[in-house]
Amino acid sequence: MFERFTTEARQLVVLAQQEARELKHPSIGTEHLLLALLDSGSGGAHVILREAGLTRERVVADINRLVRPESVPLGDGDAAALEAIGIDLDAVREKVEEIFGPGALRPPQPEQRQGWLRRKVVGDHRPFSFRAKKVLELSLREAVVLKHRFIGPEHILLGLLREGSGLAAKILSEEGLDFTVLRRQAVAALDKAA
């Protein structure tokens, strides 16, 4: 499938990997694909999302709000109990991250192993989540339906919209974006480029 990716789509996948790494997430999710689509190198998809009012900063804020570190043992109930005795849990988290850096409260990630012989993952590679793989598969299907011999960033946007259940779809929905309108714009951008 990747042989059909345009240079821009390949760069988008690389950027998604970088976004996952920067956010210290163990895998590439739909949210990282969405962040990569907001990069100016993503052509028409970038323009569509920016014109819809989406910015990288807003998406990162939404991701941070929606993805709570699994390792932080204190939840909302704990925050309320601590607040009752005068301790603001969010302020404590912010101060710790200000001093020690983002993700300071997360324990070290266990060593990742993969493959038949359980070989160690080399470097800083992040695997694709199930939903991100589905988005890429759906981008291929969108290209086939549109009778395109290539997969560009707009096809990946179409795949992301069609998948509709991942964190990226949740963010787009919460931001009030209409999937039908975005889809129509992405198809129009592809028709214009062809």
CATH code of 174's domain? 1.10.1780.10
Rounded Cα distance between 151 and 140, Å, is: 6
Is 169 within the bounds of a domain? yes
Per-residue pLDDT tens for 137-161? 888 888 888 888 888 888 888 898 8
Q: 119-120 and 113-114 as β-strands: parallel, antiparallel, unpaired? A: antiparallel
33 and 90 co-located in one domain: no
Handedness of CA 125, 129, 118, 71 (dihedral sign): positive
53 and 7 co-located in one domain: yes
129 and 54 co-located in one domain: yes
148 and 183 co-located in one domain: yes
172 and 140 co-located in one domain: yes
The residue segments making up the domain with residue 140 are 2-69+125-193
63 and 130 co-located in one domain: yes
Per-residue pLDDT tens for 161-170? 888 888 888 8
Is 117 within the bounds of a domain? no
Contact by Cβ (8 Å): 112, 120: yes
24 and 98 co-located in one domain: no
pLDDT at 119: 47
Question: 176 vs 96, which has greater pLDDT?
Answer: 176
Q: What is the largest CA-CA distance in the chain?
A: 63
Question: What's the number of domains the chain is made of?
Answer: 2
